[in-house]
Structure 1
Amino acid sequence: MKKTMIAALLLFGTAAVFAAITDITGKWTGAVLGPDGNSYNLTYVFKIDGENLTGTSDNTLGINAIEHGKIKDNEFVFDISANGMVIPHKGKVYTDSIALDIDYNGTPLHTVLKRAAE
């Protein structure tokens, strides 16, 4: 009985920590090195509803809605539509950051986002 109770507490504790890690609701910022060699600031505001991810992206292409966003465990995907392009994003959530891969018109870009102070 005692072992079962300890195992249940460990499982619950692990699930709670994992849930906290994957809660990316809020504002995240970073910069990405573009194909032209210049650095571009990025700001994302994420909203989570179950496995649905919505929000906005703010960068040199303007402020655009996050489309087709899905999050599962610590990985997520979404698109941004800007200037007639669909820009796919794929991310992975870590304890204090997000690694984000962006397919900008066939050019792979990578950035790390940090939670912004509200």
Structure 2
Amino acid sequence: MKKITLTATLVCVVMACLAAVSGLAGKWQGSVKLADGNTYPANYEFQISDGKLTGTATAEGPPKVITDTRINGNDFSFSIADDDGSAIKHSGKYYPQGDSVSLNVNYGGTILHTTLTRKKN
């Protein structure tokens, strides 16, 4: 009986985590202000498949594929490669109640912050 209860509890926890992060799927937009004062658009498209985060990020130029993804509840992280191949690390939190994302971008050692909103079609 304990095994059944434990198994059922674990299944519920896993399903709750997947349900929470599955809301992250879709197109998101925001802007990032650099230290020099210039502001750039930041667009992301996230997909969730089998509990894994995939997608692309676009600021200027062609979309960059996100790599090195991690998901823990509503928290997630990933990297994209800069034009010179350097990793730009991102860490964020999805807020389902506000349907928004708080995202920190580590750009050359400087932490930049943006809030993403779901892109309307």
Q: Which category of TM-score, normalised to the shorter sequence, fits these structures?
A: 0.7 to 0.9
Flag as ranges the 4+ runs of structure 1 deviating above 6 A. Answer: none
Residue 6 (structure 1) aligns with? none
Give TM-score scaled by structure 2 length.
0.77
Task: Quote the offset at 1:50 in angstroms.
Answer: 3.2
Match of 2:103 among 100, 103, 111: 100
Q: Provide the secondary structure at the position in 1 that maps to 2:120.
A: coil
SS in 1 for 2:79: strand
Go from structure 1 to structure 2 and tell me whether the alpha carbon gap of 1:21 and 1:63 turns closer, same or farther (over 3 Å shift). closer
Question: If the length of structure 1 is used for normalisation, what is the TM-score?
Answer: 0.79
Amino acid at match of 1:115: R
Number of residue pairs aligned between Structure 1 and Structure 2: 105
C-alpha displacement of 1:34: 0.8
What's the C-alpha RMSD, in Å, of the aligned pairs? 2.1
Cα distance in 1 for residues equivalent to 2:82 and 2:40: 16
Deviations 1:48-102 (A, max 9, x none): 1233111000102531001111222100000000222110000001122000000
- Write the distance in 1 (CA, Å) between the matches of 2:31 and 2:70: 23
Unaligned residue ranges in structure 1 (runs of 5+) = 1-11
Q: Is the 8 A contact 2:20 2:74 kept in 1?
A: no
Shift of the 61–106 alpha-carbon distance from structure 1 to 2, 3 Å rule, reads: farther
Aligned to 1:4: none
Work out the CA distance in 1 between the residues paired with 2:72 and 2:24. 12
Contact 2:22 2:48 in 1 (8 A): no
Residue identity (%): 39
